[in-house]
Structure 1
């Protein structure tokens, strides 16, 4: 990745990077690598559990027509993990040279390329070393020594509860990054494994009877277990440690499924990851594992995060509360422990003995995390108190006074709940149509809008009728916008079909409620001794002026005065008043859009955490669909560089300055007195080849591309919390995670209206899959672009 830098007060601050390098090829291997003596090469790295033990290996690869077949990340200028400057292997491309050789692994650290030391190189220096290495590339790598394993054989006799354990892992579904092994993730109570006592969470399955499970797919491991008879011989390896991502909870996860008495985890993630990331699937899973096919009906569970062409079909939306006829209708007992949000579910009912039903489950709350409570459940009792004929007030009181541990007896009754919901819906519509805020007006105004926020109707207490849920970036057909408070709308699928009908808040209502909320926000932040506690809050306009301070002469060009993300003290800008914050700051609600036929391949801009890794992975995995453009520079050409391949070398600084002033560049900057920039023409050149041009630029470039008529697919990766950042990167400090989170929130605030989609997820693979889905859905042949007429 080529990066340039700004210098201020002697510190080097990362600004914008243009070009990444992903090397991929098919090749023939001709030599054997050598193992280096312990400690002979490489630097040290910080690890949580003491000093690491390294093993070193020399791996010769041969470059073909398409590269070396792996992706890298990191460098002194852009550390991949914490402050570690090492160059890490982040992806091995199937069918490439590295994959065919089989020795290079994910998370390997490149110490040398041929004889060039890259142990403390910048990302661009490592890229240059790989590019200049010639046809035969010798990689000197180091990796953590694998923990020792004790191999033993155990014999299990199936009980009426089967073998009683869950597995995860396999080729294409690695439970531990870089390891294709099959691992035990759960021991099920009452099963043969628990009764025997020797099998444990974290054990690796080496063989089942005579079937070798080394380097097999998840499906092959399942098939081997399904083919066993009553007596099963297992060869297992017990590690000297338990991996961080393996849960030690011995209970059966809701996402585990039995296949002929062996519980098998859905093959996209480990059980614990799946439980956190797919609450919708949990709500519809059976109480007890049953003999079902390996293919779940849930889209997320079946989706292959590594396949761009196998994403879910356009227009397919998941209903988070679909009713499965196979779910037991028998009463069942659930024990919940109250959290900071209470139990985390809403109830309806209690009139004329109709029963108390669960109508809403709050994401992340105890009821959701348990995976056992469902919308449509009737609550029969709370801590032994009968609620069968209770009023709403009696049920609410029983739940409120139930204590920290609550025992519920519930029964899944979707038909009764649906009838109850239909009756409530009729009453709401009657109330709406007789109120002064009725949508029955004489003039209907229709339009198409893009949502710039998430909306969940169940959380809107003022909703007069059935609401329509939507996410940021969804296209809505507003069929009646004549009311000041509520609009009637339908969801527009990526195919252009319309589905669902419901009420959404009007732009006026969203603006008013958000401004009222902001009025009461207590802004907190870093303070200095001079400010005497004055808050450090900037409004959007001030942030743009400070964080993206362009020179007066060239509005597109990065200034040296302030770098992206730099802290500005209150003394420099003065304290903000409440009035100044509320002033002209735009509220993100809806953007009017029109449909446009796509005649080019859209550029892609990804901002937020993981963007470097995702950019590399897209180019690596789909070299025929994604590419990078060639930047311009006034720097003299080096001997090994070619004009138009490495850079477009501009004859003079004056010429490039004129081009910048004439808006021919989407972004530009200066490094070592030389100008660098990405031109509109370079982006178009990639687009004309039928490829998405991956751009590593700032949020300001999104608008400049739109002005140039190139509407990019702009995606913000938004972490759910500081904790989620630390979960995805175990070696990042809390302070680093906090800064990353704050930077992302600033990006959302400053450029929210320009993003095509905001993506969230619990794992890097889930986020990557969602990014691919967004790009596929936004690839045409028609797209929605901002309308000239504003709302």
Structure 2
């Protein structure tokens, strides 16, 4: 029989090798192989083997009577016919109510943290799992849960130990960590959906004495996009920074926790007699910014005073009210109005020049709002084209009673201002409205119908500033048109850094204006993306988010 099987297999090898080497089509090759006589023989061999596999072991002793190996074959038959599966005693009908089930959990430690924090019951001295970090080793195993009582770690009892001692045992463990735990009686399954938020303040866990585990904390700065995956704890949330660079989350203070921390810091600075302006003082200085074309002089000479107000307000009222801002992805539909484009930057960095170049480059697409003024109309001007010419009474009514101005100011005894209505008028005509305003004006423009996209025009390095502004002119309180001085360069760089530090949480993009032409082309590309690609915006501006939540 063995020789017959060998002959069949030899025929298979010969026929397949010959068929492959011949220049025939695939279908013809398949037909020849399926028609080969050895195929039927192989199928019969397969059927015999399967039939033999299904047979139960038969005793060999009756066939071996009188043989010398009778004892050996008798042992074989005994082993073959025995069942060696474990026999478990039945569970008792009634278990004691105070009986606690013990669970043994084995985790393989790698380079990343365990992903769980512990706490100690001050009364009993027991050590419990306080929280399991989302995406960490413990979370992925699904074997450790908040509230589980830890009895042993690698055979060492942890009952009565301080949490720091338990952490030392865990840190010194290499390879496998063996936990003996008593599971929490009722496991809480979390079905929270991720919530996306933008950080409006800075946070460093290493400087926070109240965080349960500094190593598990996650630092962030204003403007960072956070994916909050767990808000079950009232004080400490779990989140990841986007774009996601880590598989596991980190601890961050909840909104209420972080708000109280900033309020406490604000009160401490007040008690130390640090000059902190209230929101009333801040609003007195900031909105008085004016339109660049007619009162850039006023805007520049008053900026030093307003800058002092800016630095002294710490933290801002918005940070105290909401350290996080919930955001959602927004995709502008073709039939929707274009988003408002806001350019922000220090005076002298080239914001106004970039805005004018964009409008000149494509006037059918880009347009600026028509400002209001109380000065008389000049020869050659047309109402609604250069300015909206209004009376002083109407101007003051628009400012004081209905708050329609984004910014305003006075030049040569005449009032000038940029109104929200003028911006909305451009947007409704299907144009892309581009404006440059003082940073505090951003708050007034964060409206659902405008959905502003804020671009910060950043000052280049001091060396580049000196090189590119060598022949540029500047408007000051002493001269209408003069060259930049070294003091101007230092003030421009300082102001640019100050604006970025205080308002970067509102910036959607940053452009460094080291070359006017390159910066203009970069702006065009960024604006196209802002209008046509998904962008993160506050949820209260996103109509699609509201309709889905309903």
Q: What TM-score do you get using the length of structure 1 for normalisation?
A: 0.34
Indicate the structure with greater helix content: 2
Greater percentage in strand: 1
Q: Who wins on radius of gyration, i.e. which is larger?
A: 2
